[in-house]
């Protein structure tokens, strides 16, 4: 008999679904710190175009990344249901404006399709899964800022006397 350990295909992932321009997207809950109502964003001079500005979250200054621009979606007026997802990359906390946030869901690894199997070269995505008869795009937060954008953001924060974390 073969008693080799099976890969962790049945491990469970917790995802935070959100909506952006009618698209169903998600982040792994392990990168999410909190969700807050959309607040006023203060512009950050000399920051990359993808950075909308800064918000103060419990005394921490956090850059706001424009998901609409990153995903090629049109700009839109914020609705009352709009939220900021405060999440953490390996380098810093970021705020992501979204139209709405749903509750946490769980998916087994077998229910998630790796993006390379469907669309090669898709760095912004960690995978796809089904949700309520549609496709849920699971985003890779680490890929939202390019190396150049991260460098320009760090410089803009330094020039303006704002610490990294």
pLDDT tens readout for residues 75-104? 888 787 899 999 999 989 999 999 999 889
Average pLDDT, the chain: 86
* Residue from 94, 103, 107, 92 nearest 138 by CA: 107
Range from 2-16, 23-37, 61-75, 141-155 carrying the lowest mean pLDDT: 2-16
CATH classification number, 12-159, choose in 2.60.40.10, 1.10.357.10, 1.10.10.350, 2.40.50.180: 2.40.50.180
Sorted by where each begins, the domain ranges of the chain are 12-159
Q: Which residue has the higher pLDDT, 120 or 1?
A: 120
Q: The pTM is what?
A: 0.84
Virtual CA dihedral for 150, 100, 121, 130, nearest 10 degrees?
150
Highest mean pLDDT of the ranges 61-65, 101-105, 139-143: 61-65
pLDDT at residue 7 greater than cutoff 60: no
């Amino acid at each position: 008999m073969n008693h080799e350990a099976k890969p962790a295909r049945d491990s469970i992932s917790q995802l935070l679904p959100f909506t952006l321009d009618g698209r169903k997207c998600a982040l792994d809950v392990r990168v999410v710190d909190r969700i807050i109502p959309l607040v006023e964003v203060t512009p950050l001079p000399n920051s990359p175009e993808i950075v909308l500005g800064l918000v103060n979250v419990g005394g921490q200054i956090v850059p706001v990344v424009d998901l609409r621009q990153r995903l090629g979606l049109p700009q839109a007026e914020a609705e009352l249901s709009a939220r900021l997802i405060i999440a953490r990359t390996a380098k810093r906390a970021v705020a992501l404006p979204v139209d709405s946030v749903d509750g946490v869901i769980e998916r087994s690894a077998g229910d998630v399709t790796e993006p390379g199997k469907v669309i090669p070269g898709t760095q912004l995505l960690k995978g796809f899964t089904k949700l309520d008869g549609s496709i849920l795009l699971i985003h890779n937060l680490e890929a939202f800022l390019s190396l150049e954008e991260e460098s320009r953001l760090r410089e803009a924060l330094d020039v303006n006397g704002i610490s990294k974390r």
